[in-house]
Amino acid sequence: MNSCIILQLWTLRHKFDKPFQTLMIEPFSLFKRVYLLGKYGQKKIREIQEREAAEYIAQARRQYHFESNQRTCNMTVLSMLPTLRDALMHQLNSESLTSLLKNRPANKLEIWEDLKIISFTRSIVAVYSTCMLVVLLRVQLNIIGGYIYLDNAALCKNGTTPLAPPEVQQQYLSSIQHLLGDGLTELITIVKQAVHKVFGSISLKQTLSLLELEQKFKDIREVVEHKDSDHIASYSPLCHYLMPDEENPLASQACGLTERDIATIKLLNETRDMLESPDFSTVLSTCLNRGFSRLLDNMAEFFRPTEKDLSQNSSVNSLSSVSLPLAKIIPIINGQIHSVCSETPSHFVQDLLMMEQVKDFAANVYEAFSTPQQLEK
């Protein structure tokens, strides 16, 4: 009986003591949890701050590398213009024709007709090829620049082969020779045919105003750029002159390709994809519009009304009112190649290099090829 009473009393005591014990333990447990959560929060904040700082430094480093790469692009364009100019002057040698005219040959009219076609062809091709050179080098040097950034950012460690070793860079960039060689020759052929179509029937004595000359340039561009074609391609037909249509000769080899060859083929295919993109077509077209506009601006100096014209006719107050015989326009257009393909920063080249559309396009290309995701391709 006593043992039952004692058991009941012990049970009642344990029942009433338990809340007190819990009250003594829970404050300590809660404090511990808050302390641990605080330490965890501080750790996460530090991690976020360190990650943001690392991302900021990486972004600043990439921005600096990009800007440096654009300066390299500009200097490369300027350094290649003399080569382009010499190639044009060699294939379209108007100087030999002017020398013949000084001797008053019997076939003087025939030589003048040849000089007409060659002079216009030379300057028009100079505009086309300079614009192409500017945009093509922007693509190539920003693709390779993106890969170089990834290599320099130590993302290719642990024995991984660099994305763009020096020998691959050299082999890849040598593809620009197509534009300066076979591509340029084909472009000259097409432009010469268009010039003959537009100017062939125009007499040397016929006068043209600057506005009429501008329309003639538009007519030539429509022929060269296939703007009158019913089928509109998704990419510019001018790409054909920048890179050959067929696959790179390296890719046609069934065996014996080195790692360097494979890496170069990959770069060339990526470049071809860029050249066939709508963005490239838009940027190149914008450059050509600016280029031909600058060409006409350069020629406008020769179409200004003289004081005699102004005194005789007060209504002659615009460039559209002044016309020159085609024979006088020929030497003007013939000399424009020295302004268009000038290795010293001329207004023509500066306009192209500083265009916002070109800068934005270059930034997009660099962004696409300088992100770590590019390593996974």
**Percentage of residues in the chain having pLDDT higher than 90:** 57
More confident call, 310 vs 330:
330
Q: Which residues face 323 on adjacent strands?
A: 209
Indicate the pLDDT class of residue 302, thresholds 50, 70 and 90. Answer: very high
Residue 221 has φ and ψ, to the nearest 5°, of: -65, -35
- pLDDT digit string, tens, across residues 47-78: 777 676 666 666 677 778 889 889 999 999 99
The most distant pair of C-alpha atoms in the chain lies apart, rounded to whole Å, by 151
CA–CA gap between residue 93 and residue 122 (Å, rounded): 9
Indicate the pLDDT class of residue 144, thresholds 50, 70 and 90. Answer: very high
Cβ atoms of residues 62 and 145 within 8 Å:
no
CA angle, residues 150, 155, 160, in degrees to nearest 5: 105
Q: Is residue 159 predicted with pLDDT exceeding 90?
A: no
Specify the pLDDT at position 337.
95
Q: Give the residue-averaged pLDDT of 302-318.
A: 68
The C-alpha torsion from 260 through 265 and 271 to 275, rounded to 10°, is 160
Nearest to residue 372, comparing CAs of 171, 153, 221, 74? Answer: 153
Instruction: List, in order, residues 6 or more apart from 91 with CB less than 8 Å away.
Output: 184, 185, 188
Q: Is residue 372 predicted with pLDDT exceeding 50?
A: yes
Whole-model pTM? 0.82
Residue 54, classed as helix, strand or coil, is helix
- pLDDT digit string, tens, across residues 178-223: 999 999 999 999 999 999 999 999 999 999 999 999 999 999 999 9
**Percentage of residues in the chain having pLDDT higher than 70:** 75
Specify the pLDDT at position 23.
46
Cβ atoms of residues 118 and 92 within 8 Å:
yes
Specify the pLDDT at position 246.
56
